Amino acid sequence: MINEDDIFFELKFRRPGSIYTSTRKEEDIPIILSGTFNGRTTGMPLSIIIENKDAKPIHYEEIKYKPRPGHADITYIEKYGYENWDYRGGGRSSGRETVSRVAAGAIAKKLLLLTNTMISGYIKKAGDFQIENTPEFNEVLCSRNSPVRTIRNKEEDLMKLIESLRKEGDSIGGIVEVIVKNPPKSLGEPVFDKLKADLAKSVLSIPGVVGFEYGMGFDSYKYKGSEVIDEIYYDEGFRLRKNISGGILGGISTGEDIILRVAFKPTSSIAKEQKTVDLRDLKPTTLSVIGRHDPCIAIRGVSVVESMVAITLIDHYMLSGIIPRKLSEEQSNIIEKRWLEYKQKCT
């Protein structure tokens, strides 16, 4: 069963409108146009519309002839031609397109509950702000109610950082850590469909993402092999003592929690003056981006990363036959019960 409320539950964690994100006011209310009947999916593609109600194209008039440094403006112009460039907010490369990813992610998240698999993320680092160790999953899940999407007892530090950046007309990058709780074993293939490769491809397709790692990731260079070889033990199945590999070995899930991190760059849409070129005469000029932009896009990016991870996992579930084409009444009831419990956590 799928309805608009299920989708809106996830969309509300991504939408703008707070003092710590873009102040743009978007309700982000989804309307299902097709693909369901009597509250159940029919097997046909789901078509969902989510309207933009607070767009202000006038904020982008100066950009019409001045490509923004750090954005995809100049690469889109050179690839598709100036006449096909939608300068009103970035067009296809706009972060606004991520709303559709979160809508699809809501459906994927709900389906994953058939195996009691849950996904949640939080802001781990942003500038000088950082959370050293990976928190307990429940703490991460509760961070969805934080206005800056981080662990509740640490959020004040991040709030102060964002407030100072907004006053300066500047921005900061961030690292989002995502935990997948209770993933099945054996997702992924040895070479061309490795789970880690598919996860990397999906999250790197998100606007503003510049890096991906899982398990120890880039910190692996610090250690000797003898320090990071994980102990194997048996407890109703093979287990790994420390889960150093982040739930994936040889590109295949181990059954331990999947832990991955995604780096977001600082948004280039800032009030500070930047150097660019005027497309009318190809001479140097300057640009100060006006409008309502996120001082840290990683905050709203948490929901987008969660969604892309969920969508990728559902692909692998289907390839592995874990999710059948048609759910039984019993399976549907299990999902509904767990979805209700998931929504009520930390409320």
Cα–Cα separations (whole angstroms), residue 318 to 22, 108, 179, 187, 326: 36, 11, 21, 10, 11
Tell me what the pLDDT averaged over the chain comes to. 92
pTM, rounded to two decimals: 0.94
What's the residue count for the chain? 347
Span 45-98, pLDDT tens digits: 999 999 887 666 666 778 889 998 988 889 999 999 988 888 876 677 778 889
Contact 257, 133 (CB under 8 A): no
First vs last Cα of the chain: how many Å apart? 23
Q: Which two tokens stand for residue 166?
A: 């907004």
Domains of the chain: 4-344 (3.60.150.10)
Span 232-268, pLDDT tens digits: 999 988 999 999 999 999 999 999 999 999 999 998 8
Please enumerate in sequence order all residues whose Cβ is within 8 A of that of 236, keeping only pairs 6 or more positions apart, or say none: none
Span 197-227, pLDDT tens digits: 999 999 999 999 999 999 999 999 999 999 9
Distance CA 173, CA 157 (A): 15
**What are the strands, taking DSSP E only, across 2-136?**
30-34, 36-37, 40-41, 47-50, 118-126, 129-130
Contact 232, 238 (CB under 8 A): yes
